[in-house]
Amino acid sequence: MRVLLLNGPNLNMLGSRQPEVYGRDTLADVEGLCVAHGRTLGISVLCRQSNYEGKIVGWIQDAHHKYDAIIINPGAYTHSSVAILDALLAVNLPTVEVHLTNIHRREEFRHHSYVSKAAWGVLCGFGVQGYLMALDALAHRLSPTKTMEA
Backbone angles phi, psi at 50, to 5 degrees: -150, 150
What is the arrangement of strands in the sheet containing 95-99, beginning at the earlier edge strand? 44-49, 2-7, 69-73, 95-99, 121-124
Short-list 71, 76, 42, CA closest to 59: 71
Neighbours of 50 (CB within 10 A): 19
Neighbours of 76 (CB within 10 A): 15
Active site (catalytic) residues: 22, 99
* Count of all residues that appear for the chain in the document: 150
Whole-angstrom distance, CA of residue 120 vs CA of residue 46: 19
